[in-house]
Structure 1
């Protein structure tokens, strides 16, 4: 039995390293004031204090994990709602032409509205708080999940469907054994895109009066002039967002083992 080697592409470190060097040079010798762009060393201290609370250099000392918990809960809730609706409608529209003719025009019409345009309406409908944030996350995540599911489901070759029917697969059995495995790579792409959008819209939802969450910290830090904590929060969101993407990809590979390693990871 062959063991899969986990290969790490070091080429991906080149650009981050160059950005870090440029950042260090600009803050050390370029005359960039710290209140506009703190140095990498300062930001590292802020991150450590944000997580541990041992340095006491910002008002947000030791508050990272509580804010992260609330943000993760909101992302998970909004993404789960978007996935449930997007997958259900996507599979129906992908396999039933009448459903696609009914649903597609409205969805393509609504998805052209920018997310920020929904913000005042969401505040009126759900007020300031959890409902508003969950609505924005779910709405934005829904579209890539739906579109990729429709594409993958509708592109299943007819010869594959006929082969399954010849082997006795009908109805839900045909969907589970033929349609779903064939469409799943596209479905996985949609889920990953939707999760990325969920993290982006988390910040939009949390800047509207929510008191706990990473987006709330970013808003508060901006108002108080703490650019360092704003950048630290952005780094946390990027890292946690990437981690959740890895976890989702691992789950997709568990569901669909034929997704080949190395070709489906950007």
Structure 2
């Protein structure tokens, strides 16, 4: 998980996409109600954040909706971490527990997220509980699987060396197993956070009144594609920023990652 320097090559594709986007809207290849121009979308984004132009019913409400969405993502992700990390370490280090839990969890993981939506609504109702359940469920499996693989992949020689130096129990875990497995764990955390943002939209389109997913649903029903795209862009930026913060936290936690010995 090394800190990346600015790479101008990474801007080539976005610039090309914006150029094509401008061309197809400028010359009428795509109707404005299907795809607004980059200039129009930029104004809608500014209006969404500031309310300067009053272009949509959501003028000036971006930070309110972002806060609600961010809170749901972080609480659901935190619950997935609390469940996924201990279970992943347990099944990764204890073969009997892996044989006991892994087949059952594999069956649950095989059900697509949209398949859980009806039963989630029955169990938790429409709104906060349903959304948080879907986010937690989605984020749990990447965290659990990568933690299990990381814990299981710690060489026995490394563990024996730690014991020879006097490490036992929690000390052995904190000084040997956890650092050795952390690069794999960090991958799972990043994947889990990413799918948490994806499942946020699935949860918020089912009845909540505040949140970026709710804005997207209302915008679609009102035929305002511009506000739908604006909400998508805000989600993309928020997801990227939270991923960056998670990477920074992982570098602080793990000496191996901080030294750049392994990449997550």
* TM-score computed with the length of structure 1 as normaliser: 0.96
Match of 2:212 in 1: 214
Match of 2:255 in 1: 257
Q: 1:7 Cα shift?
A: 1.5
- CA displacement 1:46-66 (0-9 Å, x = unmatched): 000000001101111001010
Counterpart Cα distance in 2 of 1:20 and 1:39: 9
- CA separation of 1:221 and 1:135: change in aligned 2, threshold 3 A: same
Matched, 1:242 2:236: no
Counterpart Cα distance in 2 of 1:104 and 1:194: 18
Instruction: Give yes or no for contact 2:256–2:262 (8 Å, CA) kept in 1.
Output: no
Q: Report 1 or 2 for greater relative contact order, CA contacts < 8 Å, sequence distance ≥ 6.
A: 2
Match of 1:62 in 2: 60
Q: Which moved more, 1:129-138 or 1:24-33?
A: 24-33
- CA displacement 1:223-263 (0-9 Å, x = unmatched): 00000000010000000000000000000000013215597
After superposition, residues 149-188 of structure 1 pair within 5 angstroms as: 149-188=147-186
Instruction: Give yes or no for contact 2:88–2:145 (8 Å, CA) kept in 1.
Output: yes
- CA separation of 1:6 and 1:204: change in aligned 2, threshold 3 A: closer
Matched, 1:198 2:211: no
Match of 1:99 in 2: 97
Gaps of 5+ in 1: none
Counterpart Cα distance in 1 of 2:228 and 2:215: 7
- CA displacement 1:179-202 (0-9 Å, x = unmatched): 000000000000000000000000
Match of 2:10 in 1: 12
Counterpart Cα distance in 2 of 1:165 and 1:114: 43
> Does the residue aligned with 2:214 lie in a helix, a strand or coil?
helix
Counterpart Cα distance in 2 of 1:43 and 1:161: 56
Match of 1:25 in 2: 23
- Work out which of the residue numbers 25, 41, 44 in structure 1 matches 2:39: 41
Instruction: Give yes or no for contact 2:22–2:38 (8 Å, CA) kept in 1.
Output: yes
Q: 1:178 Cα shift?
A: 0.2
Alpha-carbon RMSD: 1.4
Counterpart Cα distance in 2 of 1:5 and 1:166: 35
Gaps of 5+ in 2: none
Count of aligned positions: 262
Counterpart Cα distance in 2 of 1:123 and 1:167: 53
